[in-house]
Structure formats: structure tokens, C-alpha cells
Amino acid sequence: MAIRTAALASLLELLVGCTRSASDDQLRGWLDETRRENDARRGKAVASATSSWTLSVRGNIAGGEVNYAWSNLTAMANTRLTTTNPGYTANVNAALDYRGIKMSDILEASGAREVRGPGGSEVTVIAADGFMHTLPIADVRRFPMLLALEENGVPLVKNTGGPLLEIVPHTSHPETKALYPEGGAYYVTHLIVGTEPVALEVGQRALHATELDAIPERTVEGKAGFRFRWPSTPVKIHGPRLSDVLAAASVVVHEGDRVLVKRKPRTETAEREVTTLLGADVLGCDIIIGLRYGDAHALLPAGLGGPAVLAFAPSCADATRGQTWPMFVESVVVVPAGAAAKDGGP
């Protein structure tokens, strides 16, 4: 707890043996001053964290995408929920009072709908630290799932899972403990309703499903290098080679170039949103834009990072150089040898 210099000096004077005693009014004054300073610091931290924070809702919604600024989210946060939270490690049994927005209200405001197709009855929650999980839309509508802004009247900040924290109503709906024992996601940035249509930006062009399906397909089989949801056993991922995708967009790549594959923004550090490959690896290896998976050739749902991922043949494993395979791939940029990268690329 922060204490002003003058107050600290007075306390030290008492502690080292000075005979003057602080009055009750003085002690109350120092405590009030400390609280005001802490409140001011907390307010600055919240303002800094939320100044550019948005919630992006995409997929099967009206218009395909809606972005809610923090001012919009604050205005919509009119729901209170008292529940335990397994993420509150100070006391997992504590009843905490949350204020926020019902996820079902966000879906309704965004014109969300269930459709046939990959993940068509699901909503995928994506967080700024890369965490993701998928819920049935029916559960979001059945249970008062909350995107919380405050906990016990205090704005949520990064070290408490904020500024936007997914809360599962374990107390009012005990059945959710079995369904979602780990609780909700911290630092929520995206809700994907169903799965977005493919729209891969390559150079100056956007390639959609029709153009990508026209490119010869390759299959990568082996252990997937994704962080979430994929099985640990070997899988098949199908799609065109990255080099062929670049050629289809009339983008030339040379061995000394760098190829920047950007995924959906999900981190506070722009560089972590980019996978950097060498042109020589792109030209010489089976590095593919994965659009389907498994023996059934199923389209990739958002719950597996779809509609587009980047996958590497086992013989090209060194091309990742320790980088996690990216899901939610959205664009590919070629940086000529010797040129400086832009848009967060290394």
C-alpha cells in the first residue's frame, strides 16, 4: 500500500521512539490519503488498459463483424452476477459480485444466428494471451454467462483477468461446474459465432474459398503444432501450399525474402501475431494453408482455429524455428531481402 512521504516520515518518527503520539484524526487522515492515492493509481491503470480495448464479434452475425469500443461495453454492462470463480485463487469458495454484459445480450445485439456448417452452433471465445475455448450457443443463451468489467465494485485489470473477464455462473447454475470447471477466459478480445468465411489477404488481393479451392491441394500428416484444441495424436490437414497461394495472388517470393504470416490479433505484442518464414523454406517445403482436416475432409471450424491455419509437413519442421503454428490465419506478406518489415513483423 502506497503512503505519501510526509505520512511515512511521521510513522517512522513514532516507530523509532519519539514520545509524540499520532492522534486518531491523524491516523484516519493518513489512511484516507493512502486510499485516495491507491484509487487514483488504479484509475490510471484501468484507463490505460481500456483506452484502446475492443471486443470484436465476428462470423455468423449481421454484417459479419461488429467491434464494440470500451465506451459501448461500459454502457451495456448492466448485469450483476454473484458467484464463485475458480480463477480467484485467493479463495475459490468466495462469493464474488461481478458487473458486466451477458454474452447472450452481446450475441443478440450483434445479430448472431446458428447455421449449418463448421461450428455453426458454437461461439468461440478468444483471449489476448492466445487462450481460446468454444461453447455451444445454446449454453450461452441458457446460462447467464458474463463478460465482466468489475469484481466486487473494483474494475478488473490485467492481474485480475481484465479488463474483460468471462464469468461462468457456477453458484446460480451448479450444472455449469461440470460443464466448465475451469471457469471462463481472461482478457477476452473476440467472440466468433460459428466460423468466419475464408478471406485470406495475400499481397494486394483477398483470396476467398473459391480461389483457394482452385489451387492444387496437399496433405500434411503428423503431430500438429497448435497450442489449443488439436489432438496429440497425428492428424491430417489439407490445403494448398503457401508458395502456390502466393503465386495465385501474383506475389513473387525469392529464397532470401521473408514471408510474414499474420494471424488474428490476440496479444499485446504485435510481433507475437506474426509467424516469420524464410522464402527458401516456403519455396522448398510443404508449408500449407490448411482449410480442411481429417479423413472426412471437414472444413476447419473456429474451435480449431479455422477457417484457415498454417501447417508444416514433418520434413519442414525446422522452418517454424520454435514458433507455434498459427491458427486464424488472415494475411500473408512478403518482405524482400534487406527491406524492413512493417505491421509488427520482425
Could you tell me if 65 and 185 lie in one domain?
yes
pLDDT of residue 37: 60
In a domain, 132, yes or no: yes
Q: Which residues pair with 219 in a beta bridge?
A: 238
98 domain residue, yes or no: yes
Going by C-alpha positions, the residue among 213, 283, 275 that lies closest to residue 253 is 283
The pLDDT value recorded for residue 89 is 87
Q: Identify the domain boundary among 173, 193, 213.
A: 193
- Statement to judge: residues 15 and 61 lie in one domain: no
In this structure, the answer to whether residues 205 and 189 fall within a common structural domain is no
Same domain, 73 and 185: yes
In a domain, 258, yes or no: yes
Residue 345 lies in a domain: no
Q: What is the pLDDT of residues 16-51, one digit of tens each?
A: 554 556 677 776 776 766 656 665 565 555 555 677
Q: Do 130 and 228 fall into the same domain?
A: no
Q: What is the pLDDT of residue 346?
A: 47
> Could you say which of 143, 162, 193 is where a domain stops?
193
Name residue, grid cell 468461440: 124
Residues 186 and 59 in one domain: yes
Q: What is the pLDDT of residue 105?
A: 97
Q: Same domain for 180 and 294? A: no
Q: Residue 273 has what pLDDT?
A: 81
Cis ω on the peptide bond leading into residue 163 (within 30° of 0)?
A: yes
**Nearest to residue 130, comparing CAs of 220, 228, 50?**
228
Q: Is 33 exposed, middle or buried (0-12, 13-18, 19+ CB in 10 A)?
A: middle
In a domain, 19, yes or no: yes
Q: pLDDT per position in the chain (346 positions), as tens?
A: 444 455 555 555 555 554 556 677 776 776 766 656 665 565 555 555 677 799 999 999 999 999 999 999 999 999 999 999 999 988 999 999 999 999 999 999 999 999 988 899 999 999 988 889 999 999 999 999 999 999 999 999 988 999 999 999 999 999 999 999 999 999 999 999 999 999 999 999 999 999 999 999 999 998 888 877 888 899 999 999 999 999 999 999 999 999 999 998 655 555 568 899 999 999 998 999 999 999 999 999 999 999 999 999 888 877 777 677 889 999 999 999 877 655 545 4
pTM of the predicted model as reported, rounded to 2 decimal places: 0.81
**What pLDDT sits at residue 1?**
44
- Tell me if 276 sits within 8 A of 259, measured CB to CB: yes
HEC string for 70-117:
HHHHHHHCCEEEEECCCCCCCCCCCCEEEEEEEHHHHHHHCCCCCCCC
Number of domains in the chain: 3
Q: Are 107 and 123 contacting, i.e. CB atoms less than 8 angstroms apart?
A: yes
**End position of a domain, from candidates 178, 193, 208:** 193
Q: How far apart are CA 82 and CA 86, in angstroms?
A: 13
| Strand 309-312 with 287-290, pairing | antiparallel
Judge if 68 and 188 occupy the same domain.
Answer: yes
**Which class for 196: exposed (0-12), middle (13-18), buried (19 or more C-beta within 10 A)?**
buried
CATH code at position 77? 3.90.420.10
Q: How far apart are CA 323 and CA 319, in angstroms?
A: 9
Q: Is residue 139 domain-shared with residue 121, that is, in the same domain?
A: yes
Containing structural domain, residue 17: 8-41
Claim to verify: residue 78 and residue 106 sit in the same structural domain: yes
Residue 2 included in any domain:
no
Q: Is residue 344 part of a domain?
A: no
Q: Are residues 26 and 66 in the same domain?
A: no
Same domain, residue pair 169 and 268: no
